[in-house]
Amino acid sequence: MSKITAKDIEKVLAQKHQRDAFYRQVKNGPTHAPLPEGLLIMDAVVISKSWSNLLITAYEIKISRSDFLSDNKLHLYKQYCHRLDVVCPAGLIKQNEVDDDTGLIWINPKTKQGWVVKKKGRIRKLDRLPSEMFLYLIMNKADDDHALYSNSRMAAEEYLADKIDSHSLGRRLGKKIGHELQRLNDRVRNMQFEHEHDKRFVEAGEKFLREAGHGVSYWEFNHLLQEIKGSSGFQTDKIEKKVNVIIAKAKEVLSEIREQDAEATKNGN
């Protein structure tokens, strides 16, 4: 299994919080005028989009044991969030190694969900909302970082990191385009065949109606055909056979009527 990077973990967290405001590398205030506790940078901060249930979650990402063991600022992050979670590759940190009220999430991007909560972080009340941190977000991160993980951005980053072989990608893309062109060509041919088939059918119907003394144009009859085709279960060949039978019967009746008319005219004379 390849080594999990901080970027991999950020991606999983961004997907986990698609409905929330997600920010990465969040400072607790101004860089050049730090607060008494000093400049703090949280790896990720999530703010729920809810007025009634506002929840600020801070994430501290750890990808090595040494980084985790040498971090002595974790407790300072708690004054800026309702909940603090440590996030790491699966198995790197154990539940009993984090504070009682700090959560622990294991990351494995290759699994379906990508993450699992090993220890649930306790939600605490804040003495006051972190106004300095909010101002930092407004001034420096007006757009949240979900866009960082759009498909085009991710594809570019993977390409630059040599995760995608350009030659292989080109071959796959060419094959995909070839299949799509063939499909479109077949569709055009089928549409042309259907058009000619419909045209012959319409012309035959128009001819019969004209002979029967009904004035109807090609376009009117074609419009009728298209309405029929719009109904579910339409099959041109079956309808054509049925119409041909009706036409044949109608011609027989028409012939009989004409003979009767001729006979009546003859007797009248």
pLDDT in tens, 34-89: 677 788 999 999 999 988 889 999 999 999 999 999 998 999 999 999 999 999 99
- Whether the pLDDT of residue 231 is over 60: the answer is no
Judgement on whether residues 67 and 145 belong to the same structural domain of the protein: yes
Taking the model in full, what pTM does it have?
Answer: 0.53
Which pLDDT value is given to residue 32?
77
The verdict on residue 1 lying in a domain is: no
Last residue of a domain, one of 139, 160, 181: 160
pLDDT-derived band of residue 138, with 50, 70 and 90 as boundaries?
confident
Last residue of a domain, one of 160, 189, 213: 160
Domain count, the chain: 2
pLDDT tens digits, 81-132? 999 999 999 999 999 999 999 999 999 888 888 899 999 999 999 988 888 8
The verdict on residue 62 lying in a domain is: yes
Length of the chain: 269
Judgement on whether residues 180 and 148 belong to the same structural domain of the protein: no
d(CA 136, CA 35): 13
Domain hosting 84: range is 6-160
When comparing pLDDT for 148 and 218, which is higher?
A: 148
Phi then psi for residue 32, to 5 deg, are: -95, -5
Judgement on whether residues 126 and 204 belong to the same structural domain of the protein: no
Last residue of a domain, one of 160, 192, 208: 160
Judgement on whether residues 124 and 14 belong to the same structural domain of the protein: yes
Judgement on whether residues 31 and 153 belong to the same structural domain of the protein: yes
Judgement on whether residues 25 and 151 belong to the same structural domain of the protein: yes
Judgement on whether residues 39 and 123 belong to the same structural domain of the protein: yes
